[in-house]
Amino acid sequence: MNTTVGATVKWGVLGAARIAEQALIPAIRAAGGHVAALGCRDLQRGQAYAQRNGIPHTMGYLDLVQNADVDAVYIALHNAAHLPWALAALAAGKHVLCEKPLTLNARQVAQLQAAQRIHGRFAMEAFMYRFHPAIEQLHALVRDGAIGQPRVMRGAFAFVLDRPEDVRWDPAMGGGALYDVGCYPLDLMRQLTGEQPDVLAAQASYTDRGVDHALSALLRFGDATAHMDCGFSLPFHQGFEVLGAHGALRVDQPFLNKDRDVVLWHDAHAHRFPPTDAYVRMVSHFQRAIRVEEPLRYPLDDALAQAETLDRVFLAMEPAPTGAM
């Protein structure tokens, strides 16, 4: 396994997904990695995707994770496929960078932790927004007491998902707005406070198949009260703010911001960050961790805490319609 300081990390991409094509494949290359192979269920479609993206080899999922020329696997499959293929990749001696949510619940993260201990490879949940300089500055300001102890947090991430064939509408594939976009503000709330929430209330709207397409939740993280909104059936919106005893911080465009300026407001003062590719920063960090050049910033203990947070919100949500599949 390639762990030499400064060596090129060879990647396998599992799944011919839009996110991989638009964000991760370019990020891997920009970070100095090599995209060695694509794993795809439909080889004909995969070969066209690979040719379009300059990937030299296409193969099935199992062949990809067992390929000797691959050091690390990026998993871009639907949510329900994350656990089995992350386990297979770890068992084959590969490092794993997996799209969020890493798994469907905390119990599944615990399975990955056990596999990681056995096989000695890194696994990390691919929350790219965490690596944006504006978010890092937000953390620093809160940590340094710039607004005092956080008391109130508000976060939202919503858009209109108008593709009925999209896997995010499929309950069997781990669909739903909480998994896809609600996880972002919840993660940031958790990171800023270092606390797990008590869920005071949660209300969801469901499709006739039982997939949550709009959700609001009221939570308490230690001494901070928090409100979160997310959805697939709401106009595009994203934002985050945290209020403390001595001031307020607000981030415009905190989660999806690859080609946009991001403004961090400290009371009335604006810190403006030019367009930054947080995917590149995330991949660069993960590769340095693989090469043992720096510690992994977000190990599976963090992913477990995030999954436990999602589990608590799901438990508090009103049940899906009777008979939903």
Q: Can 10 be counted among the known catalytic residues? A: no
DSSP secondary structure string for all residues of 150-189: EEEEEEEEEEE---TT-GGG-GGGT-SHIIIIIHHHHHHH
User: How far is C-alpha 159 from the chain's CA centre?
Assistant: 17
Per-residue CA distances from 144 to 55, 139, 148, 287 (Å): 45, 8, 8, 29
DSSP state of 23: I
Q: Output phi, psi for 3, to 5 deg.
A: -130, 15
CB atoms < 10 A from the CB of 160, how many? Answer: 12
Q: Which amino acid is at 74?
A: Y
Is 262:273 a contact under the CB 8 Å cutoff? yes
Is 189:226 a contact under the CB 8 Å cutoff? yes
Counting every residue, how long is the chain? 325
Per-residue CA distances from 202 to 135, 181, 299 (Å): 26, 15, 28
Cβ-in-10-Å burial (0-12, 13-18, 19+) of 278 comes to buried
Q: How far is it, in rounded angstroms, from Cα 74 to Cα 81?
A: 13
**SS3 for 199?**
strand
Is 3:290 a contact under the CB 8 Å cutoff? yes
* Choice among 10, 94, 100, 258 that is catalytic: 100
Is 295:285 a contact under the CB 8 Å cutoff? no
Work out the angle at residue 27's Cα, subtended by the Cα atoms of residues 24 and 29, and round it to the nearest 5 degrees: 115
Catalytic residues: 100
